[in-house]
Structure 1
């Protein structure tokens, strides 16, 4: 059996596709849509808070420590779903930068409380001012009611569920 002959203008070389890709087989998946939105919002975060040399997890830690007295590493790790080793590395970096300190708990000597330094307090104030409006452009396609609904639904999906069975 002979291979079909190619016309003079046909080639066996694949050509790069031009134009946008068909994503229809993915756009019905919540995870795909959430990931695409997350990528867009991470770019916004990097653009606005990146100049402060602040990562998203560091920002979250700073805000949680500023909002909660006597918070320890375990509580931070649980709130942010960060493993103890990864959280320890992140906190070490934040201590080196002078943003937080670990202080031995007076109630439980085995526990260390994470507290903001003066520099950490100033940084979290600056960062929260920026964060208050940094997502406006990315979310401008949504009405205020849609923004609130999206936030409510995302928080609902992210909540831990009781185990069954």
Structure 2
């Protein structure tokens, strides 16, 4: 589909002949005002922003933010998923691996691989759960807490950088748009969860 700047709103054609007499020169477009006034005009006839362009811009913003975050975390050899886990475990100590995967919406296999690296580095400790001896509870070690603080500092830097380019109206517009998109793509509730 053509970019918005190259697209033209289709004009509504007025009959060339009325009582066998030309009404207007068919080689020229009717005035733009007739587009909106003609009773056959629909929303489809009015030029709107291309939803494909919007989708591409939205995904480009998401990719750029993930890329900038990944680059910043890589300075101390932490991946984005690991950073997310350090932050979440720091706020929710003694969480199980399964609960961590659900809470962060991360595939269980990716959760397991990322946690293994964090455990090998000595940043996370895995202990038997006192509530359910079949499960393990995850908690940060002292060095894991320091790594989490670095992750939080990087995140704060990204948030500050973002805040400098957006004014209050931009943020309000984004919040309104984000709520609509999130509501439109909300996953169906799990019938087993009772929701």
Q: TM-score, normalised by structure 2?
A: 0.62
Please state if 1:162 is matched with 2:178. no
Instruction: Map residues 1-165 of structure 1 onto 2, 5 A cutoff.
Output: 26-29=52-55, 32-138=56-162, 140-147=164-171, 150=174, 154=178, 157=182, 160-162=187-189
Structure 1 contact 41–135 (Cα < 8 Å) conserved: no
- Which structure 1 segments of 5+ residues have no match? 1-21
Map Cα deviations across residues 107-128 of structure 1 (whole Å, 9 max, x no partner).
Answer: 1011110110111001111221
Within 1, Cα distance between the matches of 2:106 and 2:92?
A: 18
TM-score when normalising by structure 1? 0.71
SS in 1 for 2:149: helix
Deviates more, 1:37-46 or 1:142-151: 142-151
Q: Which has the higher contact order (CA 8 A, sep 6+)?
A: 1
Contact persistence 2:69–2:80 (CA under 8 A) = yes
Q: Which has the larger radius of gyration?
A: 2
Per-residue displacement from partner, 1:97-140 (whole Å, max 9, x unpaired)? 11111111011011110110111001111221221122443554
In structure 2, the gaps of 5 or more residues are 5-49
Q: Deviations over 1:19-67 (max 9, x none)?
A: xxx76563133xx333211111122213322201111111111111110
RMSD: 2.7
Larger CA deviation: 122-131 vs 141-150: 141-150
Q: Distance in 2 between matches of 1:152 and 1:123?
A: 34
